[in-house]
Amino acid sequence: MGLEEARSNRLTRSTAEGAALVRAAGALIGDPMLRGPDHLAGALIGPGLHAAALIKVPLVRRIVPAVIDRVIPGAVWFEVARTRGMDAMLLEELAAGAEQLIVLGAGLDSRPYRLADELRCATVYEVDHPTTAAYKRERVRAVVGDPPPNVRYVTVDFDHDDLAAALGTSGFDPRTRAVVIWSGVAPYLDDGAVAATLDWFAGLAPTSAIVFDYCWKEMVDGRLDDLYGARALRRRVAAQGEPLRSGIPRGRAREFLARHGLELVDDIGVEEATERYLTGSDGRPAARLWEFGGVVRARVPEAGRRRSSLP
């Protein structure tokens, strides 16, 4: 293994653990009305001498949410809202008839395990880079034992491999209704990679849904650094070697998705996210979360309603 490959492998693992750390911090919030739902996130982080492992130290873990909020203001609350929102939309899609779940860029996402009962009638495809996928399987074995029989691991080097082909060899049926969860990935890909993923999704069965988060393009470009948490996030992820690369222009999600032949179902911004997912037991909203993006749910139109892509 060359030095560059080793560095890339360390980066993919640390990125997965960093995201899990923020989810684990959200699960430590005292108020049950605000607490993040990912109770497995901390356990899935591997032991060792790295920052994310601090969540495993009993006397230290209680201060982790405050430390993260100081370093990247709003990050923990955004992650709580994102996780809750994506969970809710996933369950709605399953109830409406989705039979397949693709967790795209799965990292240490715990949904196939903490929502195992709800997913028992669906086939779950965890898709990620081979290095991250191998580490994920190791951590799953350590935390939950054998994965549920409906979970399939799909390894894809997104720079070189064909996603559709990789899924096909694992049994995925593009003619059967599916839901895609794409959490914490799109802003770190370039515009071409995001477009290619959405174009692939648009070819799936009608009524299939994709749920993903995004940043405003104006924030990614540095034009909105005055928004809460924007400057801190941009600087932090760039310093870690994973800069923000793409975004959706503010207020243009519907048009953006229509270019790929998709219909917008939900576009949840800061106000709606706070109202839905961050109101405490006392009826008050939680502390502030990021103000420069949102979570969207888009759908492949039903047969006969497909629209051609916009120029």
CATH of the domain at 284: 3.40.50.150
Asked if residue 7 has pLDDT above 70, the reply is no
Q: What is the pTM of this model?
A: 0.91
For residue 238, the enclosing domain spans: 74-299
pLDDT of 288: 83
Instruction: Give the containing element (helix H, strand E) for 182.
Output: strand 178-182
Gap between the Cα atoms of 99 and 242, Å rounded: 33
pLDDT of 51: 64
Residue 39 located in a structural domain: no
Gap between the Cα atoms of 298 and 208, Å rounded: 8
pLDDT (mean) for 254-276: 96
pLDDT tens per residue, range 81-117 = 999 999 999 999 999 999 999 999 999 999 999 999 9
| Average pLDDT score over the chain | 90
Q: Which residues pair with 88 in a beta bridge?
A: none
pLDDT of 61: 77
pLDDT tens per residue, range 57-83 = 676 777 788 888 888 999 999 999 999
pLDDT tens per residue, range 141-186 = 999 999 999 999 999 987 778 999 999 999 999 999 999 999 999 9
Q: Which amino acid, residue 245?
A: R
Asked if residue 275 has pLDDT above 70, the reply is yes
- Percent of the chain at pLDDT > 70 equals 90
What would the 3-class secondary structure string for 247-275 be?
CECCCCHHHHHHCCCCEEEEEECHHHHHH
Asked if residue 259 has pLDDT above 70, the reply is yes
Give the pairing type, strands 263-268 and 293-299.
Answer: antiparallel
Q: What is the CA radius of gyration of the chain?
A: 19
Residue 91 located in a structural domain: yes
pLDDT of 281: 92
CB 160 within 8 A of CB 152: no
pLDDT tens per residue, range 201-244 = 999 999 999 999 999 999 999 999 999 999 999 999 999 889 99
Residue 50 located in a structural domain: no
Residue 12 located in a structural domain: no
pLDDT (mean) for 13-24: 87
Residue 10 located in a structural domain: no
In total, how many domains does the chain have? 1
Gap between the Cα atoms of 88 and 115, Å rounded: 11
Asked if residue 248 has pLDDT above 90, the reply is yes
Residue 20 located in a structural domain: no
Gap between the Cα atoms of 135 and 138, Å rounded: 5
CB-based burial label for 173 (10 Å; 0-12, 13-18, 19+): middle
User: In the structure, what pLDDT confidence band is assigned to residue 46 with cuts at 50, 70 and 90?
Assistant: confident
- Percent of the chain at pLDDT > 90 equals 76
Residue length, the chain? 311
For tokens 């049994």, the residue is 171
Token pair listed for 204:
């799936």
pLDDT of 65: 83
Residue 175 located in a structural domain: yes
